[in-house]
Chain A
């Protein structure tokens, strides 16, 4: 009794008012983590945990049912992806289609490093020779 009250309490953090029961605290934690992880298919940029849309409620119910059936996180992700496509995953898989998504940031960082090195090169070539420093001192004194 005390234990189940605790699991329910742990879930009232999100927007949803569903009061699901779980067999263990770890299942309740998995539920919270998974509904944070899936994107609400009908909404623009909201996860299942943060949406009151009817479809998000239905999908939260589905996540709860799958956990109760003893499905692993991986199986639940596959279930969602089979039905709602990659869109539902906030953490997209690495496929030929998502290569650009994953590697553009790396390329940008590399381009930045290259740019900095180039500017540094240029700056050192600007440095005056000993002779020039001598001349400069003469001119300014």
Chain B
């Protein structure tokens, strides 16, 4: 073995370490934002029977079938929910799709005053104070948004605040394909 080969051989553990560190750094970054966006895609929206935010009535999944629904998981304690609120109001004003609010691990009073202050884009609001519907939906933090088709199948899932781009590039094409 030449001197040169020997040097390469001796340096190989160090080089290997750097290579591994590089791969792991990239891996962490990729996995950070969207843990598993497709886990509930093309599956039925979970059954539920929960109180309405605005009245004493209960709402269940069967009440909501028959038209596409955009479910938005939000809470008054969630600051990122404020970011997307304007967009949701615009969508509601244009009547593009019916938006159903899932008020997640919140207090009724806080939720109502939040909607009073910022406007209410939701055609219906469901109270999930325990977070059990959230678990069924694989929610790990508000806001999250799900698009359900008329038959009750989840066709799109978004984690984090919804942006104009998500709406135009991801959701609108799905909605137009159904018209």
Contact B135 A58 (CB under 8 A): yes
Contact B132 A85 (CB under 8 A): no
CA distance A115 to B12 in the complex (A): 10
CA distance A86 to B136 in the complex (A): 16
B40 at the interface (CB under 8 A from A): yes
**Which of A58, A62, A84, A119 is the one whose CB lies under 8 Å from B35?**
A84
B138 at the interface (CB under 8 A from A): yes
1/0 per residue B110-146: CB within 8 Å of A?
A: 0000000000000000000011101111111100000
Is the interface on chain B under 10, 10 to 19, 20 to 34, or 35 or more residues?
20 to 34
B39 at the interface (CB under 8 A from A): yes
> Residues of B contacting A137 with CB < 8 Å?
none
Contact A55 B141 (CB under 8 A): yes
Count contacts between A and B, CB distance < 8 Å: 54
A74 at the interface (CB under 8 A from B): no
Contact A87 B36 (CB under 8 A): yes
Is the interface on chain A under 10, 10 to 19, 20 to 34, or 35 or more residues?
20 to 34
A41 at the interface (CB under 8 A from B): yes
Contact B135 A62 (CB under 8 A): yes
A82 at the interface (CB under 8 A from B): yes
Once A82-B40, A84-B36, A87-B35 are accepted as A-B contacts, the answer to whether A58 and B141 lie under 8 Å apart by CB is no
B26 at the interface (CB under 8 A from A): no
Best-buried of B31, B38, B39 by chain A (most CB within 10 Å): B39
> Residues of B contacting A84 with CB < 8 Å?
35-36, 39, 138, 140
> Residues of A contacting B43 with CB < 8 Å?
82
> Residues of A contacting B139 with CB < 8 Å?
55
Name the residue on A nearest B105 (C-beta): A54
Chain B residues 131-170 with CB under 8 Å of chain A are 131-132, 134-141
A59 at the interface (CB under 8 A from B): yes
Residues in chain A within 8 A of chain B (CB atoms): 41-42, 54-55, 58-59, 61-62, 81-87, 108, 115, 118-119, 122
